[in-house]
Structure 1
Amino acid sequence: MPGCELPVGTCPDMCPAAERTQRERERRLHRFEVAPGNCGDRARADPQRAVKEYSRPAAGKPRPPPSQLRPPPVLLTTVRYLASEVAERLDASRAEVAGFVADRLRAVRLDLALQGADGTEAVAVLEAALATLLAVVARLGPDSARGPADPALLQAQVQESFGSLRRCYARGAGPHPRQAAFQGLFLLYNLGSTAALHEVLQLPAALRACPSLRRALAVDAAFREGNAARLFRLLRTLPYLQSCAVRCHVGHARRGALARLARALSTPKGQALPLSFVVRLLALDGLEEARDLCQAHGLPMHAEESVVFLRGRFTEEGLPPAGTCGLLVGSKLGEHTLEEVVMAEEEDEGVDRSKHPT
């Protein structure tokens, strides 16, 4: 039927000119989108920095014209820009960065959907967008619960991103060299989920045999079994992007390991365990973090170098403390940039970039 064909984007910029003009007029430009020193009431959009913001499609509203939609190559350039120039900014909080990047990546996915973009070009955009989102979310600290980056909304966007990408994979317009890695990321982000494991196990055997997916399955198995020694040994070996995906489960895994130690070691008089052992077992970033973790769970210290397991003292109230995860995440980027990881311009298969002794 006439008029039912999906539009093909023709916008050559990261943000359509019409939107830049409108947001200038309405003073809705983010500070990341204006040239340095060009702020205040007369801030003007920098075409090299402005990025199309997400706008929810309204029911009954006509589709945007092609001039307002970015084709896949422009979308990939946009994601690369967000990964290289925005995600690495040092003049803003990680929450502000995550909020901005997540919104703009949501607009990227919407542009793809409105065009019905499919195949290898669309997959490349969705993979890069998801990788960028995982990285900025993993970098958020415990102080980000309130502010421009709502953790619940970010989690929902990560899951939406996985859904868009995996549906694109399922349509079969391949090959997609990074599919095994991203199916593994899906499992790691949903660690312990029976539904996620079932979906991964339904994948073709050749895909499940890839090292990245086998490694994710091994991590999931250790997590389910409560085998802390094996779990954290595996987590040490994960490359950077996989470590970002599993980051949200580390606190719960550490709490579970401490709980099992408490059940095994607690006595009425108390049994001491060196903090250095806790650091090694749970892949912590040092004695201070181990001390804070144990005290947060009600375990007293002995001479500052040991934790004492007293019967009845272990507590699991509230959320697990958010650790720094320098060893398990931050250190693994190594000499690579986030842009290189996002755009698959580095090799990470089977490489342990941790510089820390275990």
Structure 2
Amino acid sequence: MPGRALPVGLCPDMCPAAERDLRERERRLHRLELAPGCPGDPPRADPQRAVKEYSRPAAGKPRPPPSQLRPPPVLLATVRYLAGEVAESAGASPAEVVGFVADRLRAVRMDLALQAAGDAEATVVLEAALATLLAVVARLGPDDVRGPVDPVLLQTQVQESFGSLRRCYARGAGTRPRQAAFQGLFLLYNLGSVQALREVLQLPASLRACPALRTALAIDAAFREGNAARFFRLLRTLPYLQSCAVQGHVGLARRAALARLARALSTPKGQPLPLGFVVHLLALDGPQEARGLCQAHGLPVDEEGRVVFLRGRYAEEGRPPASACRVLVGSKLQGRTLEEVVMAEEEDEGVQAPRTMQEGDAPSPRVPGLAQTI
């Protein structure tokens, strides 16, 4: 309500006691919130594991009292718990983890919006929440998105999270320490979007000059140009969070590169190309994945382990085959926990600005005559 002062959150727990009691009575506790070894009926909530669930504000419904709102330090501790404990839970499927984490992070953003919080405090919470959401979504396998997880809803939540954070950046004075990295994440998540590129190019020149944002702009340019060699070479250099953000575009970029190779190389008798070259060019996880990708697009692989580009054989049906992306994403953790990545400063992750593209750039190993094709 205009002119009405926002309250300051006072709830010290990840989930208000009143909500825990209500959800216990209504049997609406998630199994990740239950007290371990407690066979009670109804099941009992563990105050150290229960996390406030998202509740859509209804028209005419009064605002929650301060006792039901978690202040920024508690919200940050909640995000840290979701990233450090829930996201790494060995007893839950990736789909179950994503569903739980996404809902609870949505509640975090709601609590933040309903109270008086400084932009600096809000920024730290929103950055950690967005980083956690990107990471857990990136862990979904091809079977997970066909189950209880709605990929459209997840995408909407990620975009809403970017919107909340970027509005917070716009309101604040000066540049936040991780702003360039998260503006880059926004562009990487929205590769090919004219609107996203326009918004990033409108940022101050000093921000666009930061290595993380320069790298994101270079990747977006390579994606638009269909320069697979440069695109996947840059993706190999990305830190973990940036790799999570761009993962959704990898399959389509690989398909586009394969289609371009097919147009350039296909002959009536068949032009062979070593699978090792395809693995390197498209940053695949190995020859087996390269073989599956080629065969899924109608391209045979001979006994010598070469993909054969026969004229008229290339085909596209449905979405590109899903990939585990161990090379491009999974390997980037390098022994760190997700909590460490989510809470760390991006400058510590060694993002390097890309070198200027030189004419004739091509990946190793080289195959004669392909520099202009890819």
Instruction: State if a TM-score over 0.5 links the two structures.
Output: yes
Cα deviation, residue 221, structure 1: 0.6
Q: Which amino acid counterpart does residue 110 of structure 1 have in structure 2?
A: M
Which range is displaced more, 29-38 or 17-26? 29-38
**Equivalent in the alignment of 1:127:** 127
**Equivalent in the alignment of 1:348:** 349
Alpha-carbon contact 2:211-2:352 (below 8 Å) kept: no
Alpha-carbon contact 2:177-2:345 (below 8 Å) kept: no
Q: Which amino acid counterpart does residue 114 of structure 2 have in structure 1?
A: L
Q: Deviations along 1:57-82, whole A, 9 cap, x unmatched?
A: 00110100000000111000000000
How far apart, CA to CA, are the structure 2 residues paired with 1:262 and 1:118?
A: 54
SS in 1 for 2:114: helix
How far apart, CA to CA, are the structure 2 residues paired with 1:58 and 1:294?
A: 51
How far apart, CA to CA, are the structure 1 residues paired with 2:81 and 2:98?
A: 14
**Equivalent in the alignment of 2:274:** 274
Cα deviation, residue 7, structure 1: 1.4
How far apart, CA to CA, are the structure 2 residues paired with 1:192 and 1:345?
A: 27
Cα deviation, residue 2, structure 1: 11
Cα deviation, residue 39, structure 1: 4.6
SS in 1 for 2:146: coil
**Equivalent in the alignment of 1:215:** 215
Alpha-carbon contact 2:293-2:321 (below 8 Å) kept: yes
Alpha-carbon contact 2:215-2:352 (below 8 Å) kept: no
Q: Deviations along 1:211-238, whole A, 9 cap, x unmatched?
A: 0000000100111110000000000000
SS in 1 for 2:143: helix
Go from structure 1 to structure 2 and tell me whether the alpha carbon gap of 1:86 and 1:274 turns closer, same or farther (over 3 Å shift).
Answer: same
How far apart, CA to CA, are the structure 2 residues paired with 1:104 and 1:136?
A: 13
Please, what TM-score do these two structures have when normalized by structure 1?
Answer: 0.95
Alpha-carbon contact 2:191-2:223 (below 8 Å) kept: yes
How far apart, CA to CA, are the structure 2 residues paired with 1:3 and 1:161?
A: 26
Please, what TM-score do these two structures have when normalized by structure 2?
Answer: 0.91
Which range is displaced more, 152-161 or 117-126? 117-126
5+ long unaligned stretches in structure 2: 354-363, 366-374
**Equivalent in the alignment of 1:108:** 108
**Equivalent in the alignment of 1:246:** 246
How far apart, CA to CA, are the structure 2 residues paired with 1:2 and 1:257?
A: 53
Query: Cα RMSD over matched residues?
Result: 1.8
Cα deviation, residue 42, structure 1: 2.8
Q: Deviations along 1:168-223, whole A, 9 cap, x unmatched?
A: 00002444100000000000000011110000000000000000000000100111
Go from structure 1 to structure 2 and tell me whether the alpha carbon gap of 1:45 and 1:304 turns closer, same or farther (over 3 Å shift).
Answer: farther
How far apart, CA to CA, are the structure 2 residues paired with 1:238 and 1:41?
A: 49
Cα deviation, residue 38, structure 1: 2.3
Q: Which amino acid counterpart does residue 348 of structure 1 have in structure 2?
A: E
Cα deviation, residue 40, structure 1: 6.4
SS in 2 for 1:302: coil
Moved over 6 A (4+): none
How far apart, CA to CA, are the structure 1 residues paired with 2:212 and 2:133?
A: 19
Cα deviation, residue 291, structure 1: 0.7
Q: Deviations along 1:232-270, whole A, 9 cap, x unmatched?
A: 000000000000000000000000000000000001111
Cα deviation, residue 297, structure 1: 0.8
Count of aligned residue pairs for this structure pair: 354
**Equivalent in the alignment of 2:151:** 151
SS in 2 for 1:308: strand
Alpha-carbon contact 1:212-1:349 (below 8 Å) kept: no
Does 2:255 match 1:255?
A: yes
SS in 1 for 2:122: helix
**Equivalent in the alignment of 1:21:** 21
Go from structure 1 to structure 2 and tell me whether the alpha carbon gap of 1:178 and 1:306 turns closer, same or farther (over 3 Å shift).
Answer: same
Q: Which amino acid counterpart does residue 183 of structure 2 have in structure 1?
A: Q
Which range is displaced more, 113-122 or 60-69? 113-122
Go from structure 1 to structure 2 and tell me whether the alpha carbon gap of 1:298 and 1:9 turns closer, same or farther (over 3 Å shift).
Answer: same
How far apart, CA to CA, are the structure 2 residues paired with 1:304 and 1:140?
A: 34
Go from structure 1 to structure 2 and tell me whether the alpha carbon gap of 1:38 and 1:147 turns closer, same or farther (over 3 Å shift).
Answer: farther
Alpha-carbon contact 1:119-1:174 (below 8 Å) kept: no
5+ long unaligned stretches in structure 1: none
Alpha-carbon contact 1:120-1:174 (below 8 Å) kept: no
Q: Which amino acid counterpart does residue 302 of structure 2 have in structure 1?
A: H
Alpha-carbon contact 1:144-1:150 (below 8 Å) kept: no
How far apart, CA to CA, are the structure 2 residues paired with 1:40 and 1:226?
A: 59
Go from structure 1 to structure 2 and tell me whether the alpha carbon gap of 1:2 and 1:94 turns closer, same or farther (over 3 Å shift).
Answer: closer
Alpha-carbon contact 2:130-2:162 (below 8 Å) kept: yes
Cα deviation, residue 35, structure 1: 2.1
Q: Deviations along 1:287-309, whole A, 9 cap, x unmatched?
A: 11001111111111111611111
